[in-house]
Amino acid sequence: MNIIGKNHIGHRLSSKSNETLKIINPETNTENSNIFYEATLEEVSEAANLAHSAFITFRNISGPQRARFLNKIADNILKLDNKLIESYKEESGLTEARAINERARTIFQLRSFAELIHNNNWRESIIEEAEPKRIPNPKPDLRKTQIPLGPVVVFGSSNFPLAYSTAGGDTASALASGCPVIVKAHEMHLKTSSLVAQAIIEAAQETGMPDGVFSHIIGRGKTVGTALVKHPRVKAVGFTGSISGGRALFDLAAQRPEPIPVFAEMGSINPVVITGKALKKRYKKIAEMYANSITQGTGQFCTNPGLILTMESDNTSDFIRELAKQVSKIPSQCMLHPNIKARYEQLTQDIKTANDLQIVTDIKNANKPNYADALIATVSGKTFLNHSKLHQEIFGPFSLVVRVANNNELLAIIEDLEGQLTGTIMAEQEEYPDLPPLIDALQNRVGRLIFNGVPTGVEVCAAMQHGGPYPASSDSRFTAVGVHSIKRWVRPVSYQSFPKELLPENLKQHE
């Protein structure tokens, strides 16, 4: 049975529509052979209703059982072996090394959540026993724990076909919490997504999970995604992608008769501040470090350093020259999709109209259709402040170096920035006493602060915050990465004066 091309409505394959689509291989700029059936609205509704039925069972399945399911998903993904890696490469234009690395991250995330839910500590339960003799009124016994919200729709990202897609962080955290998941497959990597979906479905069957605990829906454009987010059985949404895409889903969800939470991890330009002393002491090293960070994965990371704020100093020009030199040395690389390449071209053209903006890298004119040249531009602080277009993300191997005149201008620029995933400070030890106002200002605009490092490379751990003030994410109070990302899909419930035998296991006694 060929599982590639059809929708997974729970354990069942379905292809009711006449609408089909194909995937482009960005490396060769040709269509791959597989044909994919777009889901009909009927199929969307079937998946949502089935997810609701599954929820009634799934929410009461024990943590260790759900952990088995997650570990089995990881096992099944590994079993796909080279088939998965090849599909990843042919759909994303990314390298084999990257594919293997990202698969490892995906497996790690699944196993982290499996470990997390092996006991109930993650539910942050609180037990307050009755105080029948309290004056003036007795205090009742009250116990609080966390329960899952219901079916979650996950929109995977273009730039992480594995780790932030079908079985990525959103899916793993939602399943861990007890929420069924419906993945809207990303239309740039449908084969990779279908392979992973099949691995999940098989894991569900092998570990006795209810039909509908996972569905995988194919769709182009907005119709299918809109229908999923508006379906009354859907109770939350996870999204990784562009600001316009995330905002559209957020708006749909907020306008429902019953609004539901959307966690959208969206765009960011990830400002980096480099002090004059840091430039003086090590501008070459910093240039090299950042040339790599800016161009890694063809710059297609949400934490790509798209804005470098250098303090005007004797070495600013040296740094810019060195950064341009280092970046110019890096060969053109393939982008994820012709549309992404086209948008990169468009946006890097658009900014050229800004006063005093200069492109400092060599123009190589990459001769393969979806290949992009890395690009560094520079501009004065004043121009940056007056051109909000320069504050927008350019997805790809691009960074804008702003020559900041003084500390007041720096703080004004930071205050004026939209919300960001990260903010980085490159500084020398002798400057530490002067840094608190900068740290304070930057902290108010970002979710993660990095010191003397690069923002790319998002560690998967409990102390990670991946999210930030809008539009970095749609709700800065949650993270998309690390075990705490489970908090997006659960809500507290209290039990008052309940007999012990009727309480959930984890509320029966202090542990």
Q: For the CB of residue 239, give the shortest distance to a copy of itself in the complex, in Å.
A: 14
Q: Does 100 bind a copy of itself (CB under 8 A)?
A: no
What is the H or E stretch that residue 203 is in? helix 190-206
Q: Does 232 bind a copy of itself (CB under 8 A)?
A: no
Q: For the CB of residue 56, give the shortest distance to a copy of itself in the complex, in Å.
A: 8
Q: Give the interface segment with a copy of itself, choosing from 294-302, 307-315, 367-375, 496-504 (CB under 8 A).
A: 496-504
Q: For the CB of residue 179, give the shortest distance to a copy of itself in the complex, in Å.
A: 12
Q: Does 464 bind a copy of itself (CB under 8 A)?
A: yes
Q: Does 499 bind a copy of itself (CB under 8 A)?
A: yes
Among 496, 505, 509, 511, binds a copy of itself (CB under 8 A): 496
3-state secondary structure of 136: coil
Q: For the CB of residue 393, give the shortest distance to a copy of itself in the complex, in Å.
A: 16
**In which residue are the tokens 């069942």 written?**
12
* CA–CA distance, 464 with 461 (Å, rounded to integer): 6
Residues between 442 and 461 that touch a copy of itself (CB under 8 A): 443-444, 446-453, 457, 459, 461
Q: Does 143 bind a copy of itself (CB under 8 A)?
A: yes
Site string for a copy of itself, 255-284 (x = CB under 8 A): x--xxxx-----------------------
Residues between 120 and 139 that touch a copy of itself (CB under 8 A): 126-128, 137, 139
* CA–CA distance, 249 with 255 (Å, rounded to integer): 10
Q: Is 431 a catalytic residue?
A: no
Q: Which two tokens stand for residue 446?
A: 């970002």
Q: Which two tokens stand for residue 71?
A: 């570990």
* CA–CA distance, 488 with 238 (Å, rounded to integer): 9
Site string for a copy of itself, 404-433 (x = CB under 8 A): --------------xx---------x--x-
Say which DSSP state 242 is in: -
Residues between 49 and 88 that touch a copy of itself (CB under 8 A): 56, 59-60
Q: For the CB of residue 492, give the shortest distance to a copy of itself in the complex, in Å.
A: 4
Q: Is 46 a catalytic residue?
A: no
How would DSSP label each residue in 144-176?
EEEEE-S-EEEE--SS-TTTTTTTSHHHHHHHH
Q: Give the interface segment with a copy of itself, choosing from 278-286, 334-342, 390-398, 471-479 (CB under 8 A).
A: 471-479
190-226 burial: b if 16+ Cβ within 10 Å, else e: bbbbbbbbbbbbbbbeebebbbbbbbbbbbeeeebbb
Question: Are the beta carbons of 158 and 210 closer than 8 angstroms?
Answer: no
Q: Which two tokens stand for residue 356?
A: 């005093």
Active-site residue list: 265, 302
